[in-house]
Amino acid sequence: MESRNILKNGERIDQLYSQDVQIIQNPQCFAFSLDAVLLADFVRPNHRHKLKVVDLCAGNGAIGIFLHNKLGGHFTEVELQPPIADMAKRTILLNNLQDRYTVINTDIANINNYIPKDSVDVVLCNPPYFPVTPQSQKNPNRALAIARHEIATNLEMVTRQMSGLLKMNGHGYLVHRPDRLAEIIAICQKNRLAPKRLRFIHPKPDRNANILLLEVIKDGRPGGVKVVPPLIVHGKDGKYMPAIQELLYGK
């Protein structure tokens, strides 16, 4: 489909050069961030052609699309907000990936109406990071507020649905905030998800981590968590570090 015929008002097309894909974005509604690129990079390759992959809180489908070469099989993108789910559908068409991708416009709480329990090999999620409290400074734009704050779903629901979908020994991948690590680990363990690999992302060499990447295994053996080397996003000069440059633009 030609790109000029696929865009709606306020939208643009951004390119992830390293993966040779194009993503429809609307900054007033939803736009993927570096978090999505980092999570896709963290996922282990698996080229089985019968693989079943589900992306919860999928937004415009960016994470799943970034993985089209790294994972085999079929992807299901699950997104609550109709305009954003529609962007995901058109992004799939834009990249000619409609044979391998399906978008479901629903609340993740209802996902088992569409996908059976214990049937999925890989579940991905870039959920809203911030709990809603009386002090929360929520974005007045509701679409952006839902993407960032736990208004429509929360960590407990995301983790429960990830566990329910996964087969035994299936792999889950989550990007979140380090200040919620203890809560994330506790909720994962409660929901039969054994943490297995953890990576911290730092904005600069001298700054605390502001992103974490976590891999879990459904009914995996307890213990044996690997904390892999961290990633630094920007150098002291404010420019992307070589590893991040490569993630965005390729070698």
Domain positions in the chain? 3-249
Interatomic CA distance for residues 229 and 140, integer angstroms: 37
pLDDT at 131: 54
pLDDT at 149: 45
Where are any strands of DSSP class E within the chain?
Answer: 12-16, 21-25, 52-56, 74-79, 101-105, 120-125, 166-176, 193-202, 211-218, 226-227, 231-232
Interatomic CA distance for residues 45 and 51, integer angstroms: 11
Q: Which residue has the tokens 């589900």?
A: 54
Tell me the average pLDDT of the chain.
Answer: 90
* pLDDT tens sequence across 43-60: 999 999 999 999 999 999
pLDDT at 130: 47
* pLDDT tens sequence across 104-125: 999 999 999 999 999 999 999 9
Closest CA to 58 of 76, 74, 78, 39: 78
What residues contact 35, with CB distance under 8 A and at least 6 apart? 126, 175, 211
H or E element in which residue 243 lies: helix 242-249
Reading the block at residue 34, the tokens are: 């570096």
pLDDT at 144: 47
Fold of 3-249: Rossmann fold (3.40.50)
DSSP classification of residue 8: -
User: Could you tell me if 136 and 121 are in contact, meaning their C-beta atoms sit under 8 angstroms apart?
Assistant: no
pLDDT at 33: 86
Q: Which range, of 5-9, 83-87, 88-92, 122-126, averages the lowest pLDDT? A: 5-9
* pLDDT tens sequence across 184-219: 999 999 999 999 999 999 999 999 999 999 999 999
User: Could you tell me if 169 and 217 are in contact, meaning their C-beta atoms sit under 8 angstroms apart?
Assistant: yes
Q: For residue 120, what are the β-bridge partners?
A: 166
Closest CA to 122 of 55, 176, 58: 55
pLDDT at 139: 54
Reading the block at residue 17, the tokens are: 């050069």
* pLDDT tens sequence across 120-167: 999 999 986 645 555 555 555 555 444 454 444 579 999 999 999 999
